[in-house]
Structure 1
Amino acid sequence: MLFAQITDLHIREPGMALSGRVDTAGFLERAVVRVNALSPRPDFLLITGDLIDGGSEAEYRHLQRLLEPLAVPAYLVLGNHDGREAFRACFPDLEYWRPDQKFVQYALDLGALRLLVLDTHDPGKSSGALCADRLDWLAVRLAEDRDTPTVVVMHHPPVAVGLPGMDRLRLLEGAERFAEVVRVAPNVERILAGHLHRGVTVRFAGTVLDVMPGAAHQVHYDSEGATPLALVMEPPMLQLHRLVAGTGLVSHKLYVDSYGGPQSFG
């Protein structure tokens, strides 16, 4: 089992740049080319939230067009910049999620691996939430299977990571119970998240929280909260996750763009 992950696409309407200068559509096009060229090719691409920037149907339609060249299935996750009703309108036929559900949450049983995808979108807020209904769903899904290696997927990190500007915008509602639900499930291999636009790894609730850098811009690293939140044009990245027998989930972060090579050391 091999799958790729990207996050925080922030797609806008055609011709519109993020903050007037970031061509997020162009970055996604390059990420799709990179995923398609990987050898071996991943089984699917997981996109962990902030699919679009303003929550509109027009942005989702643009996202659909940009993903058309993708050669593998894409599994979509909602973030704070998404719009649940617009998503429901634009993606009514997804095999893995029913649009009559209140939240965009779903389980993927992939044989050797299980993915449980959460919806942390909290309308009108940049921070995330997991209400009782969403956490009950997770608790039931985890209780169904305590053996198969399981990955919990969400947009907002559930714990502070030492970035004050972003820590204020993490998962706030439901974070404590989320930790309790995960802690009693010994087969949770990893929690995959986005939102921070930085690569962060931390122990959490008996497992590992792995936060991906963005597919376009990153957020300025500021561990003291000394400056307002700002973007930086550090390289976009993707992550490859492989389930290895006897080891567990092994993850590699790759740059989307090419920097020359491979070249001999000789």
Structure 2
Amino acid sequence: MLIAQLSDAHVRPRGVLYHDVVDSNAALVDAVAHVRGLESRPDLVLVTGDLVDHGQPDEYAHVREILEALPVPYLVIPGNHDDRENFRRAFADHDYLPRGGPLHYCVDDHRVRIIGLDSTVPGHHHGHVDGAGLDWLAATLAQDTAKPTLIMLHHPPFVSGIPYLDEYRYFDGASLAAVVERAPNVEAVLCGHVHRSMVRRWAGTVIVTCPSTATEIDLQLAESAQSSSHDGPRGYLLHLWDEREGMISHLVQMGDFAGPYPFA
């Protein structure tokens, strides 16, 4: 099974730029076109939060229009820039989304089970799942401890070392890890939020973060570092699952580069 992961599109109203400098809308259009152009078509697309920038209905109308060009079904979770209720209304036809409360869900229609976990805290930018959400996750994972499972989670529950990202990370990672580590079949936890590709061993599985289709947040590890981003490189992830080989994740960078050359 081949799964594409897009994240952090930060779509704005039509004609408006992200932070007044980046055309995030056109960038998502490019990302969707890139997915459509893959030689091996994904079976499913996962979109791991911050679909829009201000949580406004007109932003959601535009992101829906762009995502409808995907050639395969897609699943969504909100991020800290999304408004949960506007998000719910915008994707009301996505029957897997619950009608009230946090947007936790499980989709078991594919060879890999997908669990969406809503880590948004309305009015804040950090991530958290409350006790009821952790209980739901534990019960859902316990229903099948054999089928390969992916967890979608916007906020990575670890310290990245980039100071201006860690100020609004998922803070109580230990409580979440205590639930996840009891499930031996979690292939990976797929996150967004950090606008970079990161990999970390965690809770008996692996966390992989997806780059943004809009901007890349700069890698700065000094404690005194100030917030900084660049207009690219943009990218997304492809996750390939095989019943014999398990899951492998590939970083896909979008852009024009010299080649192909006849060597490997």
Question: In structure 2, what is the equivalent of residue 82 of structure 1?
Answer: 82
Question: In structure 1, what is the equivalent of residue 147 of structure 2?
Answer: 148
Aligned pairs (5 A) from 1:1-266: 1-98=1-98, 100-172=99-171, 174-265=172-263
CA positional deviation for 1:111: 4.1
Distance 2:247 2:77 in 1: 20
Q: In terms of mean alpha carbon deviation, does 82-91 or 256-265 score higher?
A: 256-265
Q: Deviations over 1:103-139 (max 9, x none)?
A: 1111111443111110011111111110112111111
Distance 1:227 1:183 in 2: 33
| Normalised TM-score (structure 2) | 0.96
Contact 2:163 2:225 in 1 (8 A): no
Aligned to 1:26, what secondary structure does the other structure show? helix
After superposition, the Cα gap between the structure-2 partners of 1:162 and 1:227, relative to the gap in structure 1 and judged at 3 Å, is closer
List runs of 5+ in structure 1 lacking aligned partners. Answer: none
Distance 1:130 1:103 in 2: 9
| Normalised TM-score (structure 1) | 0.95
Distance 2:165 2:72 in 1: 32
Distance 1:111 1:79 in 2: 24
Letter in 1 for 2:73: P
Letter in 2 for 1:155: H
Letter in 1 for 2:127: G
After superposition, the Cα gap between the structure-2 partners of 1:213 and 1:225, relative to the gap in structure 1 and judged at 3 Å, is farther
Aligned to 1:128, what secondary structure does the other structure show? coil
Question: How many residues in Structure 1 have an aligned counterpart in Structure 2?
Answer: 264
Letter in 1 for 2:68: E
Distance 2:149 2:263 in 1: 39
Contact 2:88 2:97 in 1 (8 A): no
Letter in 2 for 1:197: H
Distance 1:246 1:225 in 2: 43
CA positional deviation for 1:245: 2.3
Aligned to 1:162, what secondary structure does the other structure show? coil
Letter in 1 for 2:82: D
Letter in 2 for 1:53: D
Letter in 2 for 1:17: L
Distance 2:97 2:195 in 1: 26
Contact 1:30 1:257 in 2 (8 A): no
Letter in 2 for 1:135: L
Percent identical: 38
Contact 1:130 1:175 in 2 (8 A): no
Letter in 2 for 1:127: H
Distance 2:238 2:257 in 1: 18
Letter in 2 for 1:4: A
List runs of 5+ in structure 2 lacking aligned partners. Answer: none
Letter in 2 for 1:85: E
Distance 1:68 1:189 in 2: 28
CA positional deviation for 1:178: 0.5
